Structures are given as C-alpha cells and as structure tokens.
Structure 1
C-alpha cells in the first residue's frame, strides 16, 4: 500500500520538478540509503558548528601533586590565552564555516540526486527490457512461422534446404537474444533492489517534459556547487591573510594551592595574573601561503567558466539525442501505420482465400513490434530528460 502511494509521486511535470526530486528520495530509495544521507547532513551540521568555534582556544585546566624532599604540595591551575581580535580573521572564519556548510550541503544533495537518478534510470531500463523481451517473442513467432513456410517449400521441392537452415538459425538467434535479455533484466533488477525501497513493478514511471536551456543553466546544481566553492575559497583567502596580521589576546593564569604542607616559600595560596598581549608571526613563507590561496580562488573562478561551458554543451548533447530519438519515433510510427494499412489488405485477401492466416499473423506481429519500438524510444527519451532534470536544483 505504501509503495502504491509512493508511486503516484513519480507523475510529474516541468512545474513540479522540485516535488519530484523531493518525493523521489522518500519513495524510491530504501530507508537505509535515506538514513545515510541524513547522517551526512547531521555530520555536516556538526562540522560546521565546530569550524565556527575554531578561533576559540581551549581553556587549560591542570591539577598536580608535587612531592619534595621536605615539603609536598597540591595545586590546580587555569590558563587562558584567548584571541579577541585577529584583524578580521574571526569574522571571516565564521563566514568560511557558513560557506563550507553550504558547499557540503550542496554536495550531499548532488549525491542524493545522483542516487535517485540511478534508481529511476534502472527503473526505466527494466521496463525497456520487458518491452524488448516482448518484441523478441514476437520476432520468434514470425521466425517460427517462417520455418514452417520454408519447411513446406523444401518438402515440396520449391526451395533448397539451406533456406530452411537459415530460417532455423535466425530463430535460434532470437531465442539467444531472449535468454540474454532475461539475464540482463535479472542483473539490472538486482542493482535496482540494492538501492530501491521495493519491487520495480510497484512504481509508476515519471513523465518528464523538456526544460529550457535558460532554466537548466540558472538552476544547475553543479554550477551552484562551483559558486559555493568560489565563496568558500574567497573567505579562506582572507583568513590566510589575517593569520599573518596582528592578533590581540586576553590572558589569564590562575593558580590555587590546596595543600602546601606548611611550605614557608608559598606565601600566597592563590596566584592570579591577567592581561592583554599582541602577537604577530614573522614567517618567511607568508607571501607564498597568501599567494597560494589567492591562486586557489582564481582557479575556482576559472573553473566556473569552464563548468558553464561544459553544462551548456551537456544540454546541447542531450537535445541532439532527444531529436534523434524523436526521428526514430517518427520512423516507427510511420512503419506502424504502413503495417496497419497492409494488414487491412491482407485480411481482405485472407477472407478471399488469397492469403493464409500465417500471412495475417506475421503482419500483426510486425505491427506490434513497431508499436513496442515506439514505446521503447519514448522511454529512452525519458532517460535523457532525466539526465537533464537530475542537474536542476
């Protein structure tokens, strides 16, 4: 019952694309797969919070017991050396943590979409294999009809036995194809069950429409990730610069003697020192470190340009593939209509006893084959559209 409800989410249109992608990860993917993504999201959140606090130094607590020849002593110490200003480094570190969180979140979303796409593609391919098996079963029927004809013609002396031999070989090729398709189906189905929440027959197939190139580029999740990487590297560049600028620190040293064993040299059981300090590292590698991060930032910006070009060409390639499949669909449709008109003539001739039932059966099977091919091309087109949709955020 749950799977039947989940299956309804597969029926989508261009406007409901976000719903499709969101619903898919709740339905087609198994619970364990979904939980892995939830853990990754939670881990990213915790890492981000940790990164935001990286500028805060730990408070050092020490408890010690010292044994001497004359006196023993027990004391506890608190040491704090905390930066309160790092030439903008603290602000940039928090910004970097937020940018890193966003980048990793997008990366997790991409992984999730990729797994959804994989599961849905396997679902399409399972249905395509079912259609191919049906197609080859019809081809086998025609091949068996041809064997019967050739056998009669050979027995009547109209044909050489080589023609019958070739007809038998053709039938055997189709039989082997069916066996191979059945194996392929089992292999793909096992891969599907590795990530899916149920049997492939429990899910309806999605119906996708073509997204325009502008929408594809503007909402492209790969480009969004690349932009987030630029943002991340920009803040990291500023953090690197701030690392070599002055840092103002608040300092506190607090010592408490709990047991002095009446040691006369310890006049105060509590010692406290606090103040401010300024530090600035002098490092011969400063320029190199800063330039390296600047170069990483510039590389990320160039990577965005290249990525835009790649995604534009990816879209064009998919459009070309879809056009090719549409041409094949037209050919299959024309052939179907041709067989339909021929079938009407053959049925009339059969009724007039000019043709046999096997002639009618052969044409009917051929017509059904063209209908199946048309459906296969439609599913193959949907797979190409899925490739486009899986990249849209």
Structure 2
C-alpha cells in the first residue's frame, strides 16, 4: 500500500513537471478541456432539476380593454425510482472518465515527445558508430586494393569492400535525415529545443503496481461505471415518477383590480412506450460490453508490461555480451599495440581494433537508451 501511495505521489509530481515541457498551445488546450469537463459535470449533476417558467402577457380586446397576466410555475420530479441519484452519480463518473481520457492523451503526447528525444540520441550514437565503421571500411578497402594489386585477391573481394564502404556512406545520410526529421517532429509537442529537455529518470515498476495504476485499465473501469448509471437511468425513465406541480398567477385589467391565484399538488405518471424494452436492453448491453472491455483491457495491459519486460531483459543480455566483446577487444588492443611498437603490426590493425571497441561501447549506450524508452512507455501508461 505504501508503494502504491508513493508511486501515485511521485507520478503526479513528475507528471506536473513533464507537462511543462509541452508547447503553450497544448497546455492551453489541456487547461481549457479541464475546465470544460468540470463545467459539464455541473450541468449533468443538476440535469434532473426542472426549469422555473416565468410568463407575462398583455392583451387588448375589441373594446380597448387591456389585461395584464403574470405567472410563475414549476413542475419538478421528486422521485424516479433511483433515476435522480443515478443521474448525480453518472455526472461524477463521467467527469472521472473524461479527466482520465484527458490525462491519457496528455501522457501519450509526453511519451511521444520523450521517445523522439531518445530516438535523436540514438541517431547521434549511430552517426558516431557509422564514422568508426567507415574508417574501418576504408582501411579494409585499402588493404583489399593492395592485395588485388599484388594478385592475392580477385576483383570481387575488392568490389565487396568498396560496396560496403559505399553502403556506410549512404547510411550516414539516412541517419542524418532521420535525426533532422525527429527534431522537426518534436515541434508538434514542445516549443523547447530538444537539447534543453531532460528525460525523466524513472525506475521499472512491478507488474502489480502497473496493472493497478494502468490508465487504460482504470479508464475501462470508470467507463463500466458510467454505463451502469446510464442503464439505471434508462430503466427509471419507464417507471412511475412522482412530480410536484406549483403555479402562482397575477392578473390585472382596466376594469378590475389586481387578482392573484395559485395552485399546487402532486402527480404520478407512468410512461408507456412501444420501444421501452428495446431502449433498456440496449443500455444493458452497453453495460455488459463495457465489462468485457475492462477484462480485455486488463489482458492488454498485462501483455504490454510483459513485452516491455522481455525487451528490457533482452537489452540487458546484449549489454553483457557487449561488455565481453569490449574485454576481448581490450586484450587484443594491448597485444596489437605491443606488436605495433615492435614493428610487427601496422597502425591500421591498432586503429581497427580501437574503433571496433568504441563501437561496442556505443552499443551499450544504445541498449541503455532503449531500456529507458521501454520504462518510460510503462510510466506514461499509468494514471
């Protein structure tokens, strides 16, 4: 329970901070929608109250006698077999649903924003790796050309080395384009420069906490409650209702002094409709469907968490493999450096191993960023 409360508090605090990175336009839309939802709740909450009618009229007959009439009346339902209480509860549940939907959409925008920032960082790492691969490839081309000139390899081997270098050069342009496109895409979500936006530092939560706080699951729960209240309201629409009626009137003419009148009472009415059963059944089915949607959403949330966890575990394994490779490259570098100093190896051998080791070191940074991306996708999927 303490973990749950702490998670909610931290999530709320970080969410408030994260929301600040969104563009002014998006923040204004969020604030306006928030106000709209709260105003809508007030309207729905008191929707069962009847308007008070105020009427006035001035009439003149063929004898030029003027008559003035004024009246105020109300016809208010007092009892609807649960319809009134259901209407009030419906307003509360609908407000929860719409606020959850607003928060869900906001967090989706934030997740998209931070995913783009991570993608840019990944592109930057790929560019560094590509430069190192290009350097290694150029060394390979020069070696293959020398071997070809000496008749040690055929033209196919040299051509393959050249083609690989060309592919890496083309890849460099593609990565640069990807980075520029991602930077441009960020403008949809934020007015800030991507380099000025800090990625939230959040840890992987347990599956239990994720399912308890999943926005989509909680949205489905509240949606079930909304449909339940709508079902109750629809049933009450076709049951007897008790109504209080009251009217006060005042009349004055050129021939008479003012005269007032009033009446009040209670009435019971029962609506008869050919389609009542169909209307009620439709709302009942809506309610039953929403309950099944909830069960389906729980399954989807479990799958989402499991997939993220599998990806995280896979990246961690790849980090360990990269560390093993780095250790091996470090040993090879030490040997080749000694042999180069002794004149047995060329500087190209040393450079190739150094570059390969740097590439694997950058791989680790890539894997860690992808792990962070998976964790953030879960974090922005909770309320």
Q: Specify if TM > 0.5.
A: yes
Cα deviations across residues 90-124 of structure 1 (Å, max 9, x unaligned)? 12211111111111111111111111111111111
Q: Which residue of 2 aligns with 1:148?
A: 142
Judge which range, 226-235 or 369-378, deviates more: 226-235
Cα deviations across residues 259-307 of structure 1 (Å, max 9, x unaligned)? x344xxx775434333222222122322332232222222222222222
Q: Cα 1:14–1:73, aligned 2, differ >3 Å: closer, same or farther?
A: closer
Contact kept, 8 Å, 1:14 with 1:209, in 2: the verdict is no
In the alignment, the residues of structure 1 paired with residue 12 and residue 334 of structure 2 have an alpha-carbon distance, to the nearest angstrom, of 48
Partner SS state of residue 320, structure 1: helix
Structure 2 matches for 1:121-200, cutoff 5 A? 121-200=115-194
Cα deviations across residues 316-365 of structure 1 (Å, max 9, x unaligned)? 22222222222222222221211111111110110011111111111111
1:229 is the counterpart of 2:219: no
Contact kept, 8 Å, 1:240 with 1:293, in 2: the verdict is yes
Which runs of 5 or more structure 2 residues have no equivalent in the other structure?
1-6
In the alignment, the residues of structure 1 paired with residue 8 and residue 318 of structure 2 have an alpha-carbon distance, to the nearest angstrom, of 24
Q: Which residue of 2 aligns with 1:386?
A: 376
Contact kept, 8 Å, 1:14 with 1:208, in 2: the verdict is no
Q: Which residue of 2 aligns with 1:10?
A: none
In the alignment, the residues of structure 2 paired with residue 192 and residue 33 of structure 1 have an alpha-carbon distance, to the nearest angstrom, of 13
Q: Which residue of 2 aligns with 1:3?
A: none
In the alignment, the residues of structure 2 paired with residue 364 and residue 240 of structure 1 have an alpha-carbon distance, to the nearest angstrom, of 74
Judge which range, 126-135 or 226-235, deviates more: 226-235
1:66 to 59, 67, 72: 59
Deviation at 1:179, TM superposition (A): 0.4
Structure 2 matches for 1:324-363, cutoff 5 A? 324-363=314-353
1:209 is the counterpart of 2:203: yes
- What TM-score, normalized by structure 1, do the two folds share? 0.89
Deviation at 1:54, TM superposition (A): 0.6
Q: Which residue of 2 aligns with 1:76?
A: 70
Contact kept, 8 Å, 1:14 with 1:211, in 2: the verdict is no
Deviation at 1:133, TM superposition (A): 0.9
Q: Which residue of 1 aligns with 2:22?
A: 29
1:318 is the counterpart of 2:312: no
Q: Which residue of 2 aligns with 1:295?
A: 285
Deviation at 1:15, TM superposition (A): 8.8
In the alignment, the residues of structure 2 paired with residue 183 and residue 67 of structure 1 have an alpha-carbon distance, to the nearest angstrom, of 82
Q: Which residue of 2 aligns with 1:99?
A: 93
1:54 to 31, 47, 53: 47
Cα deviations across residues 65-102 of structure 1 (Å, max 9, x unaligned)? 43443334443332321222222221221111111111
Partner SS state of residue 181, structure 2: helix
1:364 is the counterpart of 2:354: yes
In the alignment, the residues of structure 2 paired with residue 116 and residue 330 of structure 1 have an alpha-carbon distance, to the nearest angstrom, of 31
1:38 is the counterpart of 2:28: no
Q: Which residue of 2 aligns with 1:272?
A: 262
Contact kept, 8 Å, 1:103 with 1:228, in 2: the verdict is yes
Judge which range, 89-98 or 270-279, deviates more: 270-279
Contact kept, 8 Å, 1:14 with 1:210, in 2: the verdict is no
In the alignment, the residues of structure 2 paired with residue 349 and residue 14 of structure 1 have an alpha-carbon distance, to the nearest angstrom, of 60
In the alignment, the residues of structure 2 paired with residue 17 and residue 277 of structure 1 have an alpha-carbon distance, to the nearest angstrom, of 53
Aligned CA-pair RMSD = 2.2
In the alignment, the residues of structure 1 paired with residue 271 and residue 168 of structure 2 have an alpha-carbon distance, to the nearest angstrom, of 77
Deviation at 1:383, TM superposition (A): 1.2
Q: Which residue of 2 aligns with 1:218?
A: 212
* Count of matched residue pairs: 376
